[in-house]
Chains A and B, each alone.
Chain A
Amino acid sequence: MTEKQTTTSAAFFATLKRDLLIAFKKKNDIVNPFMFFIIVVSLFPIGISPESDRLTEIAAGVIWISVLLASMLSMDNLYRSDFEDGSLEQLLLSPHPLFFLVLAKNISHWLVSGLPVVLVSPLLAYMLALPEEAYGTLVLSLLLGTPIMSLVGSIAVALTVGLGSRGLILAVITLPMSVPVLIFGTLAVQSTLNSQSPLGYLSLMLVMLSVSVSLAPLASAAALRISVN
């Protein structure tokens, strides 16, 4: 070996940097899911009711479900282009634990697709007449919930990466799995609206996040090894 050995943390950050760079070169992949999110949320008042009382009731649920759908759309890019140009195989051949490389890809995916949605959510909450005191809880719950969705969704993407036309199978597999996140995310906002403490729900989401950070990349890595051979 003439080349210098790299450490695992160097590989982790190199993967993270590479994915972020690619994302910023292909801005469509970032902008489209984000636009989709905003458009879906704006359709609800038109479809259901423009009255602010009714909107207040459904605001948290509408935002959460739109986030779920938007993350489903952006998820498709997670491994596909890497699979098509062969760099996914290189990733699997690397001597570093696949766990950390997958984690790096998931983190970069969340930074690109999850974080913008979280940041814009107060604006949409305002448009849906959510009372001001619930903004903080909504943002916090999304901050904890969107990474869980990226991590869990990554398993399904990894399983289906080899499929030529995967169409809606990703949604069929992933959406039922997002029920717990949806329940606790919306309950946290509801309890703030009922002037109760949302801390219990938020800490449960923190637990789910820690469990998914430690286990989901393992399953994603196993799924990638299954799909790419």
Chain B
Amino acid sequence: MWVWFFKLGSPKWFYELSGKWLPWLIGAMVIFMTVGVVWGLVFLPPDYQQGFTSRILIVHVAVAGTSLAFFPLMFVAGTITLVWRMKLADMVAKHAAILGAWFSFITLATGSLWGSVMWGTWWEWTDSRLVSMLFQLFLLLGVISLRSALEDSDAAAKACALLSIVGCINVVIIKYSVEWWNTLHQVSSPVTTDASSPNGPEFWIATLIMIVAVYLFLSVSLILSTRNEILERERKAQWVQDLVLKS
């Protein structure tokens, strides 16, 4: 039963398997992304209150939802690295941190764009989601800078795994404490527009399609960069040299 799990520890096995998955994942991503983007940005009727700015939310909500998945992912990868010493888990974790930082940044950027129109401000400290996303970005940058500071890749793997686990617990604590902080400070808040209020089935179906599309995009980019990392780290292995010489 556990065979497939331990097979995952073998970079070669993952490389071959992910090579078979990739075309399907990319195909599904292109379909969902096209439908979501065209529907959300072209056909969706403008919101009766927000006008055309509601279209930003199609992208924003999908990216924001996805960026919450990174720390749990890194928590799992970190645990696997520390417990089972799997090299593959660390390769995934390395690129998850980088991708996670980008996703958090895009979440903040699209959120600011939308907020600048709807709330009249680019940044609002009283919104707890903004603040906790900002600190998630900081924690991810901390993990990235720790990895770049440690040269030895084995020690870096374990250290980053430990920091990811601590960071994941911290993100949860920060999220709740920031919400607490806000409910107290938010006496007269300019933020009244509920970001998730659906103004019709069309809106949330388009958002749902975009969420699936962004998750597929995340999987594809994570797999691609992990494959790249495998080739680089295993460059001394026979199968990698065979592979490179063949192509």
Identify the A interface with B (CB < 8 A).
Answer: 155-156, 159-160, 162-163, 166, 169, 172-173, 175-177, 179-180, 183-184, 187, 208, 219, 222-223, 226-227, 229
Contact = CB atoms under 8 A, between A and B. Distances in A.
A209 to B, nearest CB: 13
A169 B173 CA distance: 22
B174 A159 contact: no
Contacts of B1: none
Contact of A180 (B145, B150, B167, B173): B173
B155 A226 contact: yes
B181 A159 contact: no
B28 interface: no
Interface of B: 82, 135, 138-139, 141-142, 145-146, 149-150, 155, 158-159, 162-163, 165-167, 170, 173-174, 177-178, 180-181, 184
A155 B174 contact: no
Contacts of A163: 149-150
B142 A172 contact: yes
A160 B150 CA distance: 8
A162 B151 CA distance: 10
Contact of B166 (A155, A160, A183): A155
Nearest to B143: A173
Contacts of A176: 135, 138-139, 142, 170, 174
A113 B245 CA distance: 60
A208 B173 CA distance: 10
A2 B173 CA distance: 49
A195 to B, nearest CB: 15
Nearest to B82: A222
A181 B144 CA distance: 24
Given A176-B139, A227-B159, A169 B178 contact: no
Residue with the highest number of chain B CB atoms closer than 10 Å, among A175, A226, A229: A226
Top 8 A-B pairs, shortest CB-CB distance = A176-B138, A180-B177, A173-B142, A226-B158, A183-B181, A183-B177, A159-B159, A172-B142
Given A223-B162, A227-B155, A177 B170 contact: yes
B163 A173 contact: yes
23 contacts: A155-B163, A159-B146, A160-B146, A162-B150, A169-B145, A172-B142, A173-B142, A173-B145, A173-B146, A175-B138, A176-B170, A176-B174, A177-B139, A179-B135, A179-B177, A180-B170, A180-B173, A183-B181, A184-B177, A187-B181, A222-B82, A223-B159, A226-B162
A226 B164 CA distance: 14
A184 B173 CA distance: 12
Nearest to A173: B142
Given A179-B135, A226-B158, A227-B155, A159 B177 contact: no
A226 B159 contact: yes
Given A160-B146, A176-B139, A219 B177 contact: no
B181 A162 contact: no
A187 B179 CA distance: 13
Contacts of A155: 162-163, 166
B135 A159 contact: no
A173 B177 CA distance: 19
